[in-house]
Structure 1
Amino acid sequence: MQVSVTGHHVDVTDSLRNYVEEKISKLKRHFDNVTDIHVILTVEKLQQQAEATVQVSGAKLFAEDTQEDMYAAIDNMVDKLDRQIIKHKEKMNSHR
């Protein structure tokens, strides 16, 4: 699994990068076929936004969240991705 973290109007520090990688690593517990993850962290005035695109076995999943705190935005974004990955896995396994 390849994780890339970029920042738009924000410097991505080591602690922020480690936090994102730690949270993203939890996605592998539900689905092993996650190949590529691209995370973009954006700051616009008082709004902190985190968005991610995940390449999963032939499909692309996208999630974003905006909060006043960057860490809260990352947490909510990972939760959204987690739900999407579970739903994608169930779709793949529910063949009639």
Structure 2
Amino acid sequence: MKILTSGQQLDLGDSLRAYVEEHLTAAVSKYMDNAIEANVVFRLDGSMYHCQCTVHIGAGISMQAAAEGNDIYVSFDQALDKLAKQVRRDKRKRRNHHQRPTETGDAA
């Protein structure tokens, strides 16, 4: 998955980029293994950090979440929790519940 991390008039360090890549990859790949790209944008508004995460999973599936907090890591974690919840619910919705059960017993 290609991850683009940027800041609007904000300088992001390598440790934040690594943190975003590690946690976003783990959260999305837990439910969907075919994610194409993700875009994470941080901005500072007064004393609050805003984080907006967008993930393009494929086949027209795109999910978006945003959050804000006093710390840049807190804002990302909150946005990631919202995004993971969306991905989990979408995965549950797309599951095929009409499959035939497999026969494991011996026929007499």
TM beyond 0.5: yes
Q: Give a deviation string over 1:35-90, Cα, whole Å, max 9, x none.
A: 11000011111010111111012211000000011100111111111000011111
Larger radius of gyration between Structure 1 and Structure 2: 2
Residue from 68, 71, 90 that aligns with 1:69: 71
TM-score (norm 1): 0.92
> In the aligned structure 1, how far is the partner of 2:87 from the partner of 2:55?
9
Instruction: Identify the residue that residue 24 of structure 1 maps to in structure 2.
Output: 24
| Whole-angstrom CA distance in 2 between matches of 1:67 and 1:41 | 11
Return the structure number with greater relative CO, CA threshold 8 A, min gap 6. 1
| Unaligned 5+ runs, structure 2 | 99-108
Count residues in correspondence: 96
What is the match of residue 62 of structure 2? 60
Deviation at 1:4, TM superposition (A): 0.4
Higher share in helix: 1
Give the distance between the partners of 1:81 and 1:94, measured in 2 at CA.
22
Q: Once the two structures are aligned, what percentage of the paired residues are identical? A: 29
1:9 lines up with 2:9 in the alignment = yes
Distance 2:7 2:97 in 1: 40
Unaligned runs of 5+ in 1: none
The two structures, once aligned, show a CA RMSD in angstroms of 1.3
CA contact (8 A) 1:9 1:44 kept: no
Q: Deviations over 1:12-52 (max 9, x none)?
A: 11011111111101121121121110000111110101111
**TM superposition shift of 1:2:** 0.6
